């Protein structure tokens, strides 16, 4: 197998992986939008939630868009390499270049506006605690959503168990806390047995613990995109020199 054939095979395999990843991300995006019990729907039903949260809640649409884009990129890369199509390879190069530029711009925006993220989470925390103290134990929808979230993440409240103080559940159960706040309990428990952390600190710790991995993956994707653009242009130029379509 010559160098040209090797590049074609690598281009096909690489974009085949991109195609499958796009299908998976598209499926997750559709699931997020359809699943009424997801964390995003839960956040969207919090009273007095900050207006900026609406942008975060569109993550389902974002995943669908990213998945669809990856499907297109994978298809163009695979077919362009197999059929030796200059048109497909050039379109592949343009799309990947646009995505790469958008990723760089997005990273810059995140770094510049990082302080606003902390403010957003502070506002969200205030709204979430108010939501618990107003409706938990009284509104079935709110109670069910919080219970689902706490059971899934194995956490207690937004910040900690004190979020439930004054809530209908707390008042109606002799100043007791939900069983999710106490390890090994299946019913209402008192404050002296609680060791479960809040949902927000748990999510934040999970992100902080995996920051290096997230950055490494992002850099890896950037390198792969650059390699894909280089290979697509090499194939394009070779096909053009051979008089391909």
Q: What is the pLDDT of residues 183-232, one digit of tens each?
A: 766 666 766 555 678 888 888 887 778 777 777 777 777 787 788 888 88
Integer CA distances (angstroms), 22 to 71, 108, 171, 186, 211, in order: 5, 24, 48, 41, 23
Q: Report, as an integer, the average pLDDT of 26-41.
A: 66
Answer yes or no: are the C-beta atoms of 179 and 189 closer than 8 Å: yes
pLDDT at residue 1 is higher than 60: no
d(CA 133, CA 110): 33
Model confidence at 49, in pLDDT bands (50, 70, 90)?
Answer: low
Integer CA distances (angstroms), 151 to 157, 169, 200, in order: 11, 17, 14
pLDDT at residue 152 is higher than 70: yes
State the alpha helices, DSSP H only, in the chain.
3-34, 39-44, 53-56, 59-83, 86-112, 114-135, 140-153, 168-172, 199-209, 211-241
pLDDT at residue 59 is higher than 70: no
pLDDT: which is higher, 90 or 186: 90
pLDDT: which is higher, 138 or 213: 138
| Three-state secondary structure call for residue 177 | strand
Residue-range domain boundaries for the chain: 3-115+228-241
Q: Report, as an integer, the average pLDDT of 28-32.
A: 75
Answer yes or no: are the C-beta atoms of 18 and 73 closer than 8 Å: yes
pLDDT at residue 50 is higher than 60: no
pLDDT at residue 176 is higher than 80: yes
Tokens of 162: 């004190």
CB atoms near residue 34 (< 10 Å): 10
| Three-state secondary structure call for residue 192 | helix
pLDDT at residue 162 is higher than 80: yes
Model confidence at 123, in pLDDT bands (50, 70, 90)?
Answer: confident
DSSP 189: B
Tokens of 180: 């999710």
d(CA 155, CA 182): 9
State the alpha helices, DSSP H only, in 113-139.
114-135
Q: Report, as an integer, the average pLDDT of 139-167.
A: 87
pLDDT at residue 146 is higher than 70: yes
Model confidence at 22, in pLDDT bands (50, 70, 90)?
Answer: confident
Half-sphere exposure of 195 (CA within 13 A, CB side): 4
Q: Report, as an integer, the average pLDDT of 30-34.
A: 72
């Amino acid at each position: 197998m010559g160098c040209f054939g090797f590049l074609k095979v690598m281009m096909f395999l690489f974009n085949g992986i991109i195609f499958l990843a796009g299908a998976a991300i598209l499926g997750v995006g559709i699931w997020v939008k359809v699943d009424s019990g997801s964390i995003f729907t839960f956040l969207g039903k919090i009273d007095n939630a900050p207006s900026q949260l609406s942008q975060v809640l569109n993550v389902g649409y974002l995943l669908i868009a990213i998945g669809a884009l990856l499907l297109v990129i994978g298809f163009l890369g695979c077919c362009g390499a197999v059929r030796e199509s200059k048109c497909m390879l050039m379109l592949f190069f343009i799309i990947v270049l646009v995505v790469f530029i958008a990723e760089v711009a997005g990273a810059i925006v995140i770094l510049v506006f990082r302080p606003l993220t902390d403010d957003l989470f502070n506002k969200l925390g205030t709204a979430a605690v108010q939501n618990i103290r107003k409706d938990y134990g009284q509104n079935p929808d709110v109670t069910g959503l919080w219970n689902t979230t706490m059971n899934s993440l194995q956490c207690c409240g937004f910040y900690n168990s004190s979020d439930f103080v004054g809530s209908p559940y707390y008042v109606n159960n002799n100043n007791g806390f939900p069983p999710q706040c106490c390890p090994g309990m299946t019913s209402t428990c008192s404050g002296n047995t609680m060791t479960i952390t809040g949902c927000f600190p748990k999510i934040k710790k999970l992100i902080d613990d995996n920051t290096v991995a997230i950055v490494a993956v992002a850099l890896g994707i950037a390198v792969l995109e650059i390699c894909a653009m280089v290979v697509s242009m090499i194939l394009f130029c070779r096909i053009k020199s051979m008089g391909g379509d």
